[in-house]
Structure 1
């Protein structure tokens, strides 16, 4: 039944079923007990009657000579189904006759013998019985009857004890239990009645209690799921009906509260929406103001970048570009401290080209420093901007600054032009974390403009240098030499200072070329040019005059000083080790030098060059590998062209 699946139905069914089962079993046991007692009494009476019949055989027997009839009786009784055993024994308990032949001569048990010894002649009922405890017909019933010493027995048992013996009759267990069939049927009937009554009670309980409670539980489950409009059925005014009515009232109250809550939620939602709208409007206004501020700053930045790009593109002078760039960053962008660092050609060190905002004894700028583990070095190596919001707590150092005042924040942005790092832009502030992300983004953009401007300026200088320098030796070419000589001549006249020049020619260079080839010849030219450049001053100008001839301008230099400078050049070349130099006519690569000084040797640039050339020819005529100075009184017998062709 379905109601048994419910807990309360199952419990009621278990309680009622156990009660009915206990009652049925108790009734069955009572019926069986009473029936067993009746059956035992009936069996005992049957055995008494049978024992009297058997004992009477001793009284009805013929005289002693004819013997007893007990043998025939025992033989007949041995075939009775209800009689288990018949024993006839004397006063001492020895069995003389038995329905079981094997028991003759055996001794009866003590209880049987005691049963006949306890009787006397004066007893009203001469029969004595021994009946063991009944166990629902599972044990046999035994009846013991004493045999008295009657007048008929005196002929054989004169002077013997009284009683002279006894009879022991035992009924079969099947006989004693045979009457239990009726009580068992009665027990089955009782159990059937109990089961039927239990089922009836359970049906009534289910109909009156469980089914109604199940419907109430179902309504409660629906209410638990959120259906507060459902109501429980009230079909009686009993406790379940009262419970259903109370539950319906509770649901009605919950429904009212729910309606009130919905109305309150609607009002709160409306208020919340209004507040959200006002807050959103306020946030939008703030965002709009912030966007306008950022837009204004962005416009200002773009305007600055546009002007900066225009100004940087208008000039290709590197110094002008650096000065303009540094000043604009400091004044327009309000960066407290700013520096431009250039990566040297060896790619191993940085040089500070421009710096703004630094100063004082506690903040000294180092003009040049090697790449190490500093912040600027990391930016160069990583090719990415490096930001240190608090340089005091940062393990990386600012190597181009020394002193106790190195505090605040630093941003190092690499200047990359055509995938090559040219240097760095360093933006500094004494304030910790002074540069927000948008400022750092602007500085990176500025670095791109700086890279383009510096790259173009350097490219212009390199191009200009290529137009003014000799492609093989790197010294000034003939055109640049003439321009530089004009400049130095004008200054010497203006300042009334001496101007000396040296004409240089490599001795027997044609022989060297013929013996070793033009590749080694070119290498020798480059080597001699490097020696000349390394052994002259920065104010001096060295140029390749043509072929294997070189020309050196020595501003503000007297003739004696110029001669010493020329001798130094001659010794440096003579002492240098050139490839295949030992094969030269002089055993080494050597040079011949001619010195001339204005105004004592010449009154014009052309005359000055001519005087130096004549002196160089004199050196060659006098054996080469020597220095000759011009003399105003000296004359050259041969034309210049003939001498140069030798």
Structure 2
């Protein structure tokens, strides 16, 4: 009774059961994820509140001659209902030693994770398999009354770890039970559906198929069962009627004269059919050629080869609309005529008229001087024969014109006019797609605000230049440029004025670098310049030239700036003098830039060893305007060495 591997019933069963199973799994996974997220959020809030409560006991008043913070020890050691879910509770000194602990015997010992817990970080809460952990630093203004000096800022760390909430385990059990129930219900529903399809669809179709196979083998007296009024029964009745008609046709004589007439008509249509097949084959080949490439020149060469070889058109050219709005010949056949590059205005000649009217223009005889298109009709072809100019139109916009010329007068039939118009329509779509592809590639590599390469293109270019410099043992220098006090400019004049300043600064930089150099926007108000085959001394000279150019540009005067003018700070680093790896070189030039910032801005600084240890990053919004370089880690804050 099982459904066969290729039956309609099995196909219907899969079309119903599989989407339902997928939807059920996706829905179950989604609700499970949301439930876990809600439980974790609740656990985080509970842990943070408990940590805040324990930390508040440090501010309780002390009794006379009592041990310091005796209330803290009592709270930690207590077995109240509030602390029953606490798995671990410790207070650590700044050096990682356990001062108070809920576990007996740990006081005075060093915590095995003291480096992670005693780092000067803000209060955090994280989830793990064993529960939820909160690490809260102790100290600050609330402890200034009892602790004085710099030590009051960091007196220790409070570590609280809660066990997994009971609610999470209960919800997990309920969810698993619901999933098992859903699976059992789905299996039962699938079984019931399979049985129904077998009895009401598969078995009747199998009987009908057997009767059809017997009729195919020559048994025209067989008949299908027609019990019922459903579609299968009606199909069987139609099959029976067909067999009855076939039986009656076999006993009738064939009308010989009618067969002869039909044969003559078929012979007459054979030539037309062959022509249509040739046209459709050409259209198929054109479509295949156009869809297999996005390069315009390669596309034009393929179209030219198909038109010349398959349609036997000896003179052919393709024109595209150029930036001036005129029609320019991009490719032509034969090549030796030298017509590539010729331009036609709209309305000039047959091609211009076709572009202007968005319709094909056909000249049966180009030697007829009385034609209104007589002037410059030939488009580089011969001075006799017939000419057909078909516009390439896409979305009511003219992209170009295709010109076909034969040496015979009236050399194009109406069928060929339709065929060549279809070829031009396909070519127009392919040209539009190729241009859109080129524009898309350009947009993915260009910053939309300044028009220079973006961060992605910069790092691709940087990788290539570093490989070239390493291969040929040549130097490569890098400049990182930052607009000084840019946040102050945005706050005072608005973000639109800030964008305009970035464009002007970029224009100044673009005109003063070499063509082989790469100027790109690194992020925010920062730019980067790659200087191939340039040593560090030469890069310093280039940086100084760029700094003076920005300072001396009258259009960059800004009353809101401290100096009354837009200025830039520049960092310089070189390969292989400062670094041999891309990530390290970016860190070096970044450290040199912040050295210029520390030095008062409007300055060019070369990288020196040690700059990355104290980069002098500014705190506040400015520090977040520039994203970290791809493949690098952010530099540590002042006073903290790199790991």
Normalization by structure 1: what TM-score? 0.46
Is the radius of gyration larger for structure 1 or structure 2? 1
Normalization by structure 2: what TM-score? 0.46
Higher relative helix content: 1
Higher relative CO (CA 8 A, sep ≥ 6), structure 1 or 2? Answer: 1
